Structure 1
Amino acid sequence: MSSLYTIGRQGSIILIWNGTRIDLEDVVDFQVRQEIKVQRTNPLNKPPIEFNTPAGWRGSFTIDRGNYALDDLFNADELAFWNSNTISSGVLYCYIQETDGSTSKYEYSGLTLSFSNAGKFNAEDIVTQTVQFFASQRRAI
């Protein structure tokens, strides 16, 4: 029997950075939220009017560190910036297996990344790493 609701195992992400696919081993958490800009006017002769305009997407993902892919990505980006003032960019793809058997696909473009947690090393614990991101736009593909 299939579930009536989406569960975390039904989602997956793929990161393309500077044209290269990054091998994200064991993604254990992915979250994203829409950003908006509140537009408001307060006319003297009528009630306030407010509406929202899209302002990008912000999110994060966490991996259980199984390789050095993220470490290498952020090291290369930092060197590129200091050596040649290069700002890297990429695209994030999210795939969701829907309960009806179809797959929803989303592309997050205009991506910027920050390595908010490069890892904590304890003798008996799995090392986790977290990346925060901003995307200018999300579109269904």
Structure 2
Amino acid sequence: MSTGGQSLGKDVSVVIVTASGTLNIPAAAITKFDSKPVTGDEKRIGLDGQVRNNVTHEGWNGSFEVDRFNSVLDDFWAAAEAAYYAGTALPWGTIQETITNPDLSVSQYTYTQVVLKLTDIGSREGNKTIKQKLDFVASRRIAS
């Protein structure tokens, strides 16, 4: 639930779907979800002296920070690595993002043609939580 009319991180839920199915990451395990549009910028100046700016849409990228509650990310990456070395092409995945807005309406976005990359398997230290990181790139983010 939002506070002060502003959205909070806990107002967001995500479902990550890979070629082999949904990654069963408990909601409590995802401590951060970050996404950003990727754009290209071009400035052109014609012989008439006019500046013409162009912004192109070139996909999305982002990451998840995950506390290790289970072996889902380890197993996902082991399977992806095995498929790579076996010469198997893996189809793209999707990410479904659902946001409960401060007015209680719901916004949903689907990231398409998602490629995931496990960038940090996490440090193993005594009594400390194992923190993992999963990055992604996507072709589009479509309002559903």
TM class by smaller structure? over 0.9
Three-state SS of the structure 2 residue aligned to 1:105 is strand
In the alignment, what sits opposite 2:47? 44
Distance 2:121 2:109 in 1: 26
User: CA contact under 8 A between 2:19 and 2:90: conserved in structure 1?
Assistant: no
User: CA contact under 8 A between 2:16 and 2:96: conserved in structure 1?
Assistant: yes
In the alignment, what sits opposite 1:23? 24
Determine whether 1:73 maps to 2:49.
Answer: no
Question: Structure 1: where are the runs of 5+ without partners?
Answer: none
Distance 1:18 1:37 in 2: 29
Three-state SS of the structure 2 residue aligned to 1:84 is coil
Determine whether 1:59 maps to 2:62.
Answer: yes
**Identity of aligned pairs, percent?**
26
User: CA contact under 8 A between 2:2 and 2:8: conserved in structure 1?
Assistant: no
Distance 1:8 1:2 in 2: 9
User: CA contact under 8 A between 1:77 and 1:88: conserved in structure 2?
Assistant: no
Alpha-carbon shift at residue 2 of structure 1 (Å): 5.7
Determine whether 1:134 maps to 2:125.
Answer: no
Alpha-carbon shift at residue 46 of structure 1 (Å): 1.3
Question: Structure 2: where are the runs of 5+ without partners?
Answer: none
Distance 2:67 2:13 in 1: 14
In the alignment, what sits opposite 1:5? 6
Distance 2:41 2:107 in 1: 28
Distance 2:132 2:98 in 1: 21
Distance 1:116 1:101 in 2: 35
Distance 2:95 2:2 in 1: 28
The RMSD of aligned alpha carbons is 1.5
Determine whether 1:114 maps to 2:114.
Answer: no
The count of corresponding residues between Structure 1 and Structure 2 is 141
Q: Deviations over 1:6-56 (max 9, x none)?
A: 011111111000151111121100010111111332223213211201110
Alpha-carbon shift at residue 93 of structure 1 (Å): 0.8
- When residues 136 and 46 of structure 1 are mapped into structure 2, their CA distance, relative to the original with a 3 A threshold, is same
Distance 2:2 2:11 in 1: 12
Three-state SS of the structure 2 residue aligned to 1:76 is helix
Distance 1:22 1:14 in 2: 8
Which consecutive segments of 4 or more residues in structure 1 shift more than 2 A?
none
